[in-house]
Structure formats: structure tokens, C-alpha cells
């Protein structure tokens, strides 16, 4: 199954600003298969409506996600 890696962070107001780091989430390539609950590479969990996508590198990255990033 093909997968894509996306950058997400908690939406403003869900957690404090210091916890709004940018995480890496590996998803199925098919949008029909995106789960309601997302799990980041580092283990952070995002419930429905808790996350927003980050389309360009911005904000503080999650160091654990970077260290564990899936690479080809």
C-alpha cells in the first residue's frame, strides 16, 4: 500500500502554544482510507478535529518525529 507523510500540528486552543510542534504523520495514499484518529511518528495522538495540516516548513518541529522520520 502506498503511503504519504504529512506535517500536522494541534489546532490553536487544543493544547498550549508550546505543545503545538509540527509532527510527521504517515497516511494511506488514498484519501478514502484516512483514519479519524491520527498517530504521529513520535507517538503523539490527534483526535477528530484536533489537528491542522502544515503545508510548508513552519513552526517548531517535533524533534522525535525528525529523528524517527521515514526516509527512502
List pLDDT tens digits, range 8-17: 999 999 999 9
Please give the Cα distance from 55 to 43 (Å, whole number).
Answer: 21
Burial call 13-51: b when 16+ CB within 10 Å, e when fewer: eeeeeeebbbbbbebeeeeeeeeeebebbbebebeeebb
Say if CB 53 and CB 6 are below 8 A apart.
yes
pLDDT value at 46 more than 80: yes
pLDDT value at 72 more than 70: no
User: What's this model's pTM, rounded to 2 decimal places?
Assistant: 0.85
- More confident: 31 or 7: 7
Amino acid at each position: 500500500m502506498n503511503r504519504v507523510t504529512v506535517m500536522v500540528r494541534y489546532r490553536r486552543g487544543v493544547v498550549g502554544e508550546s505543545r503545538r510542534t509540527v509532527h510527521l504523520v504517515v497516511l494511506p495514499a488514498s484519501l478514502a482510507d484516512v483514519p479519524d484518529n491520527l498517530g504521529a511518528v513520535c507517538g503523539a495522538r490527534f483526535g477528530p478535529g484536533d489537528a491542522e495540516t502544515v503545508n510548508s516548513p513552519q513552526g517548531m518541529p517535533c524533534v522525535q518525529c525528525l529523528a524517527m522520520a521515514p526516509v527512502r
